[in-house]
Amino acid sequence: MISLSIALIKQSALVKSIRRSGVFAFSVTLLVSVSALLSPVHASQSTHPNLVVNQQDVLTMRAAIKQPGSFKQAFEAQKAQVDSLLTQPILVPVPVDAGGGYTHERHKKNYQQMYDAGMMYQLTQQQKYADYVRDMLLEYAKLYPSLPLHPKRKSRNEGKLFWQGLNEAVWLVYTIQAYDFIVSSLDDTQRKTIETGILLPVADFLSVQSPHTFNKVHNHGTWATAAVGMTGFVLDKPELVETALLDLEKSGKGGFLRQLDELFSPDGYYNEGPYYQRYALLPFVTFAKAIEQNQPERKIFEYRNNILLKAIYSTVELSYNRLFFPLNDAIKSKGIDTTELVIAVSIAYGLTANNDLVDIAKQQNRILLTGDGLKLAQAIDANKPSHYPFISREFLDGKNGDEGALIVMRQHTPTDQAIVFKATAQGLGHGHFDKLTWQFYDAGEEIVSDYGAARFLNIEAKAGGRYLPENKTWAKQTVAHNTLVVDETSHFKGDVKVGNKNHPIVDFYHHDDKLTLASAHIDTAYDDVNISRTMALVSVKVDDKDTPLVFDIVEVNSDNSHQYDLPLHYQGQLIDSNFARQAATEKLTPLGKQAGYQHLWLKANATPKKGLAKVTWLNDNGLFYTHSSIVDGNTDVLFTQLGANDPDFNLRNEHSFIQRTNSKQHRFVSVLEPHGEYNPSAEYTLNATSNLETLTYERQGDLSIVGFSVLSNQGSTTFVLAINHQTKNSLDNNKDNNTTQRFSYLGKTYSFDTRYQLIQISQ
Amino acid sequence: MISLSIALIKQSALVKSIRRSGVFAFSVTLLVSVSALLSPVHASQSTHPNLVVNQQDVLTMRAAIKQPGSFKQAFEAQKAQVDSLLTQPILVPVPVDAGGGYTHERHKKNYQQMYDAGMMYQLTQQQKYADYVRDMLLEYAKLYPSLPLHPKRKSRNEGKLFWQGLNEAVWLVYTIQAYDFIVSSLDDTQRKTIETGILLPVADFLSVQSPHTFNKVHNHGTWATAAVGMTGFVLDKPELVETALLDLEKSGKGGFLRQLDELFSPDGYYNEGPYYQRYALLPFVTFAKAIEQNQPERKIFEYRNNILLKAIYSTVELSYNRLFFPLNDAIKSKGIDTTELVIAVSIAYGLTANNDLVDIAKQQNRILLTGDGLKLAQAIDANKPSHYPFISREFLDGKNGDEGALIVMRQHTPTDQAIVFKATAQGLGHGHFDKLTWQFYDAGEEIVSDYGAARFLNIEAKAGGRYLPENKTWAKQTVAHNTLVVDETSHFKGDVKVGNKNHPIVDFYHHDDKLTLASAHIDTAYDDVNISRTMALVSVKVDDKDTPLVFDIVEVNSDNSHQYDLPLHYQGQLIDSNFARQAATEKLTPLGKQAGYQHLWLKANATPKKGLAKVTWLNDNGLFYTHSSIVDGNTDVLFTQLGANDPDFNLRNEHSFIQRTNSKQHRFVSVLEPHGEYNPSAEYTLNATSNLETLTYERQGDLSIVGFSVLSNQGSTTFVLAINHQTKNSLDNNKDNNTTQRFSYLGKTYSFDTRYQLIQISQ
């Protein structure tokens, strides 16, 4: 195998150089039929297991289960579960059902059970566990060769055991690991039966018989290449490994390496968002770990500047209080404790021994029975302090990092304030029309929220557990997000193809101890409207206390007059507004007809007088939040509740308010401020009204001048925040040329040469 | 003092015998002016402190703060807080503000701070702490004599330091304890100034000058008598103690003992419900503890069969997953960790050393710096297993236990299923028109819920933090509860005086290992309608698994035709119904005009076909709940959401469905069933549809025959539950006379002589 590995590395280097020069023509000459390789060449007994877990791992694990500690506990719990499994009959039914149905769930359970029993065999060396896996595989070997395509198959991604090929690939990723655990216990006949009856046929089905998926640079392709490549390692079939890495034609146009090149941005951001990122991550890290074991000289984890480690870290960081940011189609209860990320974090820890990851593993609260899992268990037992550094970051989007970015702004601790400012690309079919939207989190909870996906996963009564119709009619629409809607029409007119071709431009991102600041714009969401948004998470000292404030400046420009709506979806109970509202008390009607507006009941409307319009709500975390906007006297505020045109009660009845104005140019300037505390248990309420006393905005050349004052013990403390909108190049030139930006505020003149200036004017 | 104590006991015995014979005439002859007693007779230095904390307690506490443990930690935390206090100026402002305002909150803080500093003096013997209390009291002694009645006073319960006398009494309850801690550090002049300048004047104001409150058998009276009585102990003024115990006239018609006789039922249930019970409890247990220290021979905690201990235990038990059942006007976030119950539980533990209470104290997570607090801290540190036995119980209501009952049905553990079946009396001014309502809890959460109070405590923007208008128009109304509404009119036509005069009758309550069962009726909620309700919490074995089921049988009878509405307020997202619903998708209108109906938007309606009508929802706890009702084809089901006619967005927008029928007699027979699991994090959904396959009801003489079958691995398992509605006497006679109740089900005949029979008919 070593000679092969070197060959592969050379091949890979070749492919790389080719890729750089853009020449791919030679690939056809390497075309090989994997089907021709089905004659079994058994892997040697001495090299198993050697995928995610190797022989050395097994030796240390066998020692660890004899010592007290969390690894031993995890082993014993798992052993009890597997033992109970062994008392039940092996069931390998003829595939009939779609997702959620009996045969589907049965085959899903089977691969997990084979994996668990196989690992138990490695740990205990008791034959009964190996026999269980063997017997199940023999059943599969009997069933599979005669199977037609699945009766409930989905077009373009067909399966045999499952309705879609994706599940078939996942099945093989687990099953090949289980086989790797027990292969050394089998005689030649058994091996031959299993390898030719089920393992190679599934690998062949996933690759040669499914070229469209296998060669695709997409996470479905990653599952297929991982399954086939790992099968190649275990069965000692270098051809399978090579096609997995380079595609069926070994062209490098598809395959695992190309997937590594393209599916993540240089920062490890996956453009469908963290919900799909954690799912896509599993075949990547699993196959990479297997490559690392079998072809360490490939240094797969260093590939593309450690792209896989970056992807793992970024998945961890795209979360707040353990739950993933619900970007695009995302089910909101998914968080960092998902199996995929437990495995990925263990593998990253095995590679790096980075103590920060121990904090994450503790929160995941699950010990894996692998070599890396043991290392983490030992680190957890050692109980060294570990705090994962959740900090402000810009995650560039696009394979070249040039398709916008997701900007995460954070204060000190993981449950302090966090802003997600989404200036990313569309994110393909699961993307939402939510350019320049934002979310806000504080004290552990969502405050300004994103609906996520409209879906009840696997609940048959809710559209068969698939995406609900309201995912399209509401959740994907622009008005379902905290960003600008023009003329009650979603971004890109709701056309995902147009969305995929366009993305916002991030104008700047800046982070230091005082604040995080970013600005982005998009000119393509609407034909004739330019939108730019600048956001800042700031903490100012008032009465010696850190006072967090969120600044939000949305600028809209068009040559034509339009209706501009800026919705804000808040979590909590409305407490008050500093302007009169006309409530709909006897009748509710929908706010609009389409683009999501048909789902909003209009509960109240208002036209606040020129000045500062404030809306205060109380979140379940016991804190108050006040949103203060500069209004011109011609801006309406519409209070809505979700739930109109929802005959099946599919939607959560959440609350929003929408600032609405009709004009060519408009600037929405707002501050969001956490304040006070509601503690009915201890019977006190503190500071239930906003502390923001004034807010002003003025544009002076390249500068935004935001003045604000905050109530303090001495009366009021005034600040000015000057933001420099120059391009990065111009800004750099300032310093080089010794030029400064000047601005005047309250009769005084100030100058600076950096991105921003934040000054306390008065006590 | 001892001679006085004996005199008092004799007096008390006399009063008791008088009370029994109904003769009260002698009381007038004992009338004494407390004002005449204001000349100071200082308590001797050797006897302080001796209220809730005595000198022996102080000695053990001083030792404990030198040993590691949770008591020492609590001491150190408290000391740091008090030390920071001492750096701040003493502020004793002239009273101006109502509740929530500055002077109100300042005087509230002051008494707590004097208490804390006083205790710190006892523990550390450092003079600075005593000086702080002394200086603040001297300020009060300067201010108080000149004070008029409070400018924002409330009629009939006036204060001077506070807008209501209630707060003034609470102030003295804390302040007299603080004085007790530091009195031995004062010279005679200081004592005289403080006692005649503030302590006795406040006691005089609360008693002689406020006879209406002081003599009242009501929790406001308890605060006043506790404050005055404890002042009597500390200042060695037996007259004050005596009037506190027996009322101003020493008649025994009012005073603390009468309050003990009347404010709790024999089971320790307080008829306003647990939210007010925990508040009322504090002066009771505090004064009682002081009586126990000073007059142990009175055996106050044994008074009326340990009524105070019963009240403490019942307060603990009127909770689910740490939160009180929200009966009547109750803010839902109040739970067993409130200060009042922390103090009460510590006193109960000091008296009984009952290990069950350690479990509660652990959940309260707060160590008190008192002698009893130390005992609990040591018990917690010892870490002995302790599980408070939350079990099914009937809490009789009414001072004689003959005004209905609150019935709590529970399964095994504290977070298993629990039913609250409310067949209590009205509960005075804070009572709701909710006769025979119920609530259901499971897996830590509310499933079938009660709105509680419509109030945002102390949030100025929400009606000044007081009860909202919607508390009267919604929260108190019958339709806001899970019980029968006739002709869209609340029970007793919403008249609290009529409500207070009438109550349901509990027909039976039965509890054993298999089920808890109760039945109650009321004929007075409406002029011509009799309502009876029978509920059972049952656990049957299906496939060897415990399967919990709630049975609910509501019978309504009238000679006249009426509209009968049976609402059910569910917590969660509607998943499905097994009947078609016509949803209001384009317009919502209120369901009615009054009695709470004006607040309900009608979101959908349906008329299920004759048979079993099922509604399934998903709770935040991840479990599914299906409510299955036998319907006759003429019963409508109305799906509603709260929020109509709510101009200020004061209401939570919760969901309900209402069964509606028009007839003279009707029987609503339903089963509520928890099932399955929704786990989008681990990506599985189990058993999202109801397992109840059939439900039948037949009345055979005195028996309700409920047949039901549950889906099982073998197909279906059929049971019959026969409930005997005979009176308790008739039931007892059955056994004496060897007669049995017979019933037939599915062609077979069964007989039994007990309250119920639950039989598995088929596998």
B680-709 pLDDT, tens digit each: 888 888 899 999 999 999 999 999 999 999
Residues of chain A with C-beta less than 8 angstroms from the C-beta of B457: 678, 680, 683, 685
Query: Nearest CA of chain A to the CA of B576: how many Å?
Result: 6
Q: Which of A278-282, B354-358, B720-724 has the lowest mean pLDDT?
A: A278-282
pLDDT for position B154:
77
Q: How many CB atoms lie within 10 A of CB A188?
A: 9
Residues of A with CB below 8 A from B603's CB?
643, 649
**CB-CB under 8 Å, B575 with A462:** yes
Q: Is the CB of B643 less than 8 angstroms away from the CB of A648?
A: no
Kindly report the three-state secondary structure assignment for every residue of B215-242: CCCCHHHHHHHHHHHHHHHHCCCHHHHH
The answer on pLDDT for A137 being more than 80 is yes
Mean pLDDT, residues A409-427: 92
pLDDT score recorded for residue B13? 39
Q: Report the alpha-carbon distance of residue B385 to residue B383 in Å, rounded.
A: 6
Pairs across A and B, CB distance < 8 A? 135
The predicted pLDDT at position B114 comes to 98
Instruction: Kindly report the nearest CA distance between residue B209 and chain A, in angstroms.
Output: 29
Question: For residue B6, is pLDDT > 50?
Answer: no
Q: Is residue A342 part of a domain?
A: no
The answer to whether B423 and B406 are in contact (CB under 8 A) is: yes
For residue B624, the chain A residue with the least C-alpha distance is: A459
Closest-CA residue in chain A for B109?
Answer: A684
- In-domain check, residue B312: no
Quick check: A586 and B590 CB within 8 A? Answer: yes
Residues B611 and B736 in one domain: no
The tally of domains found in chain A comes to 1
Cβ–Cβ gap A603/B643 under 8 Å = yes
Confidence band of B20 (pLDDT split at 50, 70, 90):
very low
User: How many other β-carbons are positioned within 10 Å of the β-carbon of residue B75?
Assistant: 24
Last residue of a domain, one of B687, B721, B744: B687
Closest to A653 (Cβ–Cβ): which among B587, B641, B688? Answer: B641
Task: Tell whether B604 is covered by a domain.
Answer: yes
Residue of chain A minimizing CA distance to B593:
A586
In this predicted model, what pLDDT tens digit does every residue of B401-426 receive, in sequence order? 999 999 999 997 778 999 999 999 99
| pLDDT reported for residue B36 | 39
Q: Does residue A6 have a pLDDT over 60?
A: no
Would the pLDDT of A23 be above 90? no
At A42, the pLDDT band (50, 70, 90 cuts) reads very low
Reply yes or no on whether A570 is catalytic: no
Question: pLDDT by residue (tens digit) across B281-329?
Answer: 999 999 999 999 999 999 999 999 999 999 999 999 999 999 999 999 9
Q: How far apart are the first and last CA of chain A?
A: 73
Choose the weakest-confidence range: A562-576, A658-672, B131-145, B401-415: B401-415
Of A331, A603, A684, the CB nearest to B680: A331
Is position A55 within any domain? no
- pLDDT value at B167 more than 70: yes
Sequence-distant (≥ 6) Cβ neighbours of residue A111 within 8 angstroms:
A170, A171, A174, A175, A178
Judged by average pLDDT, the poorest of B142-146, B192-196, B323-327, B544-548 is B544-548
What CATH number does residue B592 fall under?
Answer: 2.70.98.70
Q: Which of B331, B333, B678 shows the shortest C-beta gap to A459?
A: B678
Q: How many CB atoms are located within 10 Å of the residue A751 CB?
A: 11
Q: Which among B627, B659, B687 is the end of a domain?
A: B687
pLDDT of A157-179, one tens digit each? 899 999 999 999 999 999 999 99
**Cβ contact (<8 Å) for B618 and A456?**
yes
The domain containing residue A504 runs over which residues? 403-690
DSSP assigned state of B250: S
Cβ of B587 within 8 Å of Cβ of A589? The answer is yes
How confident is residue A734, by pLDDT bands cut at 50, 70 and 90? confident
pLDDT exceeds 60 at position A199: yes
Q: Closest partner residue to A681 among B335, B586, B645, by Cβ?
A: B335
pLDDT of residue B46: 57
Mean pLDDT, residues B9-21? 36
In this prediction, residue B21 carries a pLDDT of: 35
Q: How far apart are CA A100 and CA A264, in angstroms?
A: 30
Question: Quick one: B740 and B634 in the same domain?
Answer: no
The answer to whether the CB atoms of A643 and B647 lie below 8 A apart is no
pLDDT average, residue stretch A193-222: 96
Pair B302, B346: CB distance under 8 Å? no
Ranges of beta strands (E only) in A469-610 are 485-486, 505-511, 515-526, 529-542, 545-558, 562-570, 573-577, 582-583, 600-606
Strand partners, A626: A616, A673
pLDDT at B513 over 80: yes
Across A446-470, average pLDDT: 94
Name the residue facing A333 among B337, B641, B681 (closest C-beta).
Answer: B681
Predicted confidence band at A736 (pLDDT cuts at 50, 70, 90)? confident
B675 has pLDDT over 60: yes
Least confident span in A204-208, A603-607, B456-460: B456-460
Residue A554 lies in a domain: yes
Q: Residue A284 domain-assigned?
A: no
Taking the CB of residue B207, how many other CB atoms lie within 10 A of it?
28
Residue whose C-alpha is closest to residue A244's, from A209, A277, A215 = A215
Q: Which of B107, B430, B481, B569 is catalytic?
A: B430
Which residues of chain B make contact with A109, given a CB cutoff of 8 A?
Answer: none
Our CA-based measurement puts residue B228 at a distance from the nearest CA of chain A, in whole angstroms, of 25
Reply yes or no on whether A270 is catalytic: no
Give CA separation, B719 vs B418, B630, B674, in Å: 22, 17, 18
- The percent of residues above 90 in pLDDT, for chain B, comes to 86
Which pLDDT value is given to residue A46?
A: 57
Q: Please tell me which residue of chain B has the smallest CA distance to A622.
A: B333
Tell if the CB–CB gap between B685 and A338 is shorter than 8 Å: no
Q: Does residue B681 sit in the same domain as residue B542?
A: yes
pLDDT (0 to 100) of residue A683: 84
Please compute Rg for chain A using Cα positions: 29
Whether residue B755 contacts residue B517, with contact meaning beta carbons closer than 8 Å, is answered with yes
End-of-domain residue from the set B687, B712, B730: B687
Domain assignment present for A392? no
- Taking CA B365 as the corner, what is the angle to CA B360 and CA B366, rounded to the nearest 5 degrees? 110
Q: Are residues B666 and B704 in the same domain?
A: no
| Residue % of chain A over a pLDDT of 70 | 94
- pLDDT value, residue A372: 97
- Asked if B672 contacts B552 with a C-beta cutoff of 8 angstroms, the reply is yes
Looking at residue B464, its pLDDT comes to 87
Rounded distance, CA A127 to CA B187, Å? 87
* Average pLDDT, integer, range A453-480: 95
The pLDDT mean for chain B works out to 92
Subunit contact B587:A585, Cβ cutoff 8 A: no
Which pairing describes strands A529-542 and A748-752: parallel, antiparallel, or unpaired? unpaired
Which whole-number Å values give the CA distances from A524 to A19, A427, A552, in the listed order?
31, 16, 21
Reported as half-sphere exposure (CB side, CA atoms, 13 A), residue A303 has a value of: 28
Residue B376: pLDDT band (50, 70, 90) is very high
Catalytic residue among A220, A430, A562, A627: A430
Pair (B522, B414) in one structural domain: yes
pLDDT of residue A413: 77
Q: What totals of helices (H) and strands (E) does chain B contain, helices first?
A: 20, 29
Contacts for B353 with CB less than 8 Å, ≥ 6 apart: B375
Cβ proximity of A442 and A546 under 8 Å: no
- Statement to judge: residues B449 and B562 lie in one domain: yes
Q: Are A82 and A95 in contact (CB under 8 A)?
A: no
To the nearest whole Å, the CA of A599 is away from the closest chain B CA by 9
Query: What CA–CA distance (Å, rounded) separates B429 from B453?
Result: 13
Contacts of B512 (CB under 8 A, 6+ apart): none
Top residue of B571, B637, B649 to mutate, by most chain A CBs within 10 Å, is B649
Same domain (yes/no): B617, B483: yes
Assess contact for A343 and A368: CB atoms under 8 A: yes
Q: Which of B276, B388, B509, B745 is catalytic?
A: B276
B597 shares a domain with B502: yes
Confidence of residue B98 (pLDDT cuts 50, 70, 90): confident
Nearest to B329 by CA among B419, B421, B454, B503: B454
Set of chain B residues whose Cβ sits within 8 Å of the Cβ of A683:
457-458
Determine the pLDDT at residue B153: 87
Gap between the Cα atoms of A30 and A28, Å rounded: 5
Q: Which has more confidence, B291 or B29?
A: B291
| Arithmetic mean of pLDDT, B671-677 | 97
- Report the alpha-carbon distance of residue B370 to residue B293 in Å, rounded: 14
What integer pLDDT is reported at residue B732 of this predicted model?
86
Flag whether pLDDT at A691 surpasses 60.
yes
The larger pLDDT score, comparing residue B686 to residue A671, is at A671
Q: Are B108 and B120 in contact (CB under 8 A)?
A: no
pLDDT over 70 at A756, yes or no: yes
Lowest-pLDDT range of A510-519, A612-621, A660-669, B156-165? B156-165
A465: chain B residues, CB-CB within 8 Å: 685
- pLDDT range class, residue B638, cuts 50, 70, 90: very high
Q: Looking at residue A55, what is its pLDDT?
A: 96
Task: Tell whether A42 is covered by a domain.
Answer: no
pLDDT at position A15: 34
Asked whether the predicted pLDDT for residue B267 surpasses 80, the reply is yes
